[in-house]
Amino acid sequence: MATERTDVVIVGAGAAGGIIAAELAKAGMQVIALERGPRLKTSDFAGQDELRFFQRQDTRPDIKRQPVTWRRNTNASATPLGTLAYGNQAGGGTVHYGAVSWRMHEDDFRARSQTIERYGERAIPEDSSIADWPLSYADLEPFYDRAEYDLGVSGKAGNLQGTLVGGGNVFEAPRRREYPLPPLLVEQPGIAFDEATRELGYHPFSTPRAILSEPYQGRPGCTYCGFCQGFGCHMGAKSSILVTKLPEADETGNFKLVTGAMTYHVDTDDSGRATGVSYYLPDGSDNNVEADLVILAPFIYDNTRLLLLSRTAQFPDGLANSSGHVGKHVMAHMMARLLVTFDDRHMNVYMGPSAQKHTIDDFNADNFDHSDVGFIRGSQISIGTENLQGGPISASTITPPPGTPRWGAAYRDFIADAYTRHASMVAQTENLPYADQTIDLDPDVKDAWGLPAPRMTYDWRRPDEVARVEYMLQKMEEIGWAMGASQVWRQPLSPGRPGAHHEGGTRMGSDPANSVVNRYGQTWDIPNLFVVGSSTFPTMSGFNPTLTIQALAYMTADAIVNRYRNNPGPLA
Ligand code: SF4
């Protein structure tokens, strides 16, 4: 076994791991990051060819080598989850994501208290484990600001230091200053969506995205090529960790990235302290990094799996799992979708960044009165494209309107007619946490390294969730007709499977009895073991998680550099 020694080892060099690596290395700490996938270059994304990009496997997990299984409940058998959208490369999911970059609302950090104060405790589903975060929006605001300016996010403020300003999201929490870059240009779907939602009395705005609307920090602005979500940017205009923080870390001389490294164990000593991690390389070798500080930063499945695989006599149910909460409270956004087509208006959805082009926030969080709707929390509603992006292969995944077959001449004519005239609306609903939504080790399925696959037990179809989705679909139908569409129809909902943005499994909290980590991602049980990323979210909000993951990563790095380094121990 080859062994290396360093100050800090980080598993996963994505949204959280890449930021922490760069910040710690800049502060003079020696950092080794272990990344399961490759380190691609901007030039690897040249040549916009939808078919070629769909075929490539190096940006996302290969489901044959790295399966994740899913079952509806503990009585059902688990089957492979199918396509996995998270990252499998240096930069993680930020390389191929849609780059949507939301700050959460103030009440998203206190969803439980907010609900009880406004609607009473009975409004919370009995079986939900909804909890407040152990930090407030105000605590995280400086780090949201840091992430937006450090990485490069385009958008328009709606609330500057408590004063509502025109053009942005009137429901957003107060921000200290404008976005570093103006909003991206609006495409036809955004224009039609804005007109209709304004007419209905709602408040549309350009979705904030980590895509450069203008040149910034030596990188060029976006050319609106459309090969954005699901692909890497061929010119570095998307503010991925690959083109922002990893080069910063390289420059310090204190950072080493090991690619192709499959971490399979967190190592500990007899005192229970973390001593490093063990990993396999593609040549089959078994290797080890010894470190003073161990930070787990892969996607939620591997955060949970690594803790479960690293059980000890002291922690027989999984490392750092004295609470029994490792693997619990897993959440996923339900993506309720609606399609619209026009007889006389071209949407040309293939142009520009595809994800959530323009948005209304009127039905998200507690931005509206839930007294009579039969559910709590909500969803943003956005206009964009079906599936990953607006190319013809993506468009072919559309379920046609009722009465149109999915084959033959009628289907061909529908696609030919609708391709340039359609748009897709999506409601990304905030599903609640439940303790029995879990990740554990599949006893029957192993990955390419012989390790048990992560197994998700999850079914989104609970009464609160179903009511929330139905409400949002009706709102989107209202908007679709107001846009002047000639056809408005729903896309099928998943029969229980999780939607997008999986979160939870190692949730943060204020009480070691019912959470795994504190606000910094430091495990309650082992102070030199941190777990970061969306696995730590106690609730998910109706927003994409990445900017919050990144803000938390800056906060964790700040706490390690300025406090933990001088006084290793529990961070208050
Ligand atoms: S749309 Fe813009 S950010 Fe997206 S891939 Fe094209 S140039 Fe890059």
Most informative mutation of 40, 96, 151, 235 for ligand 1 (most atoms within 8 A of CB): 235
233 CA from centroid of ligand 1 (Å): 5
Q: Assess whether pLDDT exceeds 90 at residue 194.
A: yes
388 CA from centroid of ligand 1 (Å): 13
pLDDT given for residue 57 in this prediction: 60
Strands 286-296 and 2-11: parallel
340 CA from centroid of ligand 1 (Å): 24
Ligand 1 atom nearest to 238, measured from its CA: 3
Residue whose CA lies nearest to ligand 1 atom number 8: 233
pLDDT tens-digit series, residues 332-379: 999 899 999 999 899 998 888 877 789 999 999 999 999 999 999 999
pLDDT tens-digit series, residues 410-463: 999 999 999 999 999 999 999 999 999 999 999 999 999 999 999 999 999 999
How big is the CA angle at 514 (ends 510 and 519), to the nearest 5 degrees?
Answer: 30
Q: By percentage, how much of the chain surpasses pLDDT 70?
A: 98
> Could you write out the DSSP letters of every residue in 53-83?
HHH--SSS--TTTS--EEESSTTSPPEE---
C-alpha–C-alpha distance, residues 535 and 320, integer Å: 14
Strands 163-164 and 159-160: antiparallel
What is the dotted CATH code of the domain comprising 2-564?
Answer: 3.50.50.60
pLDDT given for residue 387 in this prediction: 61
Residue 386's pLDDT band (cuts 50, 70, 90): low
C-alpha–C-alpha distance, residues 550 and 547, integer Å: 5
CB atoms within 10 A of CB 268: 21
Q: Across all residues in the chain, what is the average pLDDT? A: 94
- Collapsed DSSP state (helix, strand, coil) of residue 189: helix
469 CA from centroid of ligand 1 (Å): 31
Q: How far is the CA of 183 from the CAs of 70, 127, 154, 178, 544, in angstroms?
A: 39, 41, 5, 11, 18
User: Considering only CA atoms, which of 304, 242, 225, 213 is closest in space to residue 93?
Assistant: 242
The residue from 105, 325, 333, 501 that is catalytic is 501
The residue that leads in pLDDT, 399 or 469, is 469
Q: Assess whether pLDDT exceeds 90 at residue 466.
A: yes
Residue whose CA lies nearest to ligand 1 atom number 4: 228
Q: Assess whether pLDDT exceeds 60 at residue 572.
A: yes
541 CA from centroid of ligand 1 (Å): 27
Most informative mutation of 184, 211, 213, 240 for ligand 1 (most atoms within 8 A of CB): 211
User: Are residues 257 and 246 in contact, defined by beta-carbon separation less than 8 angstroms?
Assistant: yes
- State residue 360 phi and psi, 5-degree precision: -120, 145
Listed in sequence order, the residues at least 6 apart from 367 whose beta carbon sits closer than 8 Å to its beta carbon are: 105, 171, 361, 378
Extract the tokens encoding 27: 């502060």
* Ranges of each domain in the chain: 2-564
3-state helix, strand, coil in the chain (%, to 5): 25, 25, 50
pLDDT tens-digit series, residues 61-70: 888 889 999 9
pLDDT given for residue 49 in this prediction: 78
Handedness of CA 210, 214, 217, 218 (dihedral sign): positive
pLDDT given for residue 267 in this prediction: 98
Identify the H or E element spanning 19.
helix 17-26
195 CA from centroid of ligand 1 (Å): 25
Strands 328-341 and 422-429: antiparallel
Q: Show the ligand 1 pocket: residues with CB < 6 angstroms.
A: 211, 222-228, 233, 235, 237-238, 352-353
Ligand 1 atom nearest to 232, measured from its CA: 5
Handedness of CA 308, 507, 256, 258 (dihedral sign): positive
311 CA from centroid of ligand 1 (Å): 43
Ligand 1 atom nearest to 224, measured from its CA: 1
Handedness of CA 350, 242, 503, 360 (dihedral sign): negative
Most informative mutation of 214, 216, 223, 348 for ligand 1 (most atoms within 8 A of CB): 223
Most informative mutation of 97, 101, 187, 225 for ligand 1 (most atoms within 8 A of CB): 225
Weakest mean pLDDT among 39-48, 254-263, 510-519: 39-48
How big is the CA angle at 22 (ends 19 and 28), to the nearest 5 degrees?
Answer: 140
Residue whose CA lies nearest to ligand 1 atom number 2: 222
pTM: 0.97
Q: Assess whether pLDDT exceeds 70 at residue 388.
A: no
pLDDT tens-digit series, residues 24-53: 999 999 999 999 999 999 998 888 777 776
Q: By percentage, how much of the chain surpasses pLDDT 90?
A: 85
Q: 501 an active-site residue?
A: yes
C-alpha–C-alpha distance, residues 46 and 43, integer Å: 5
pLDDT given for residue 432 in this prediction: 97
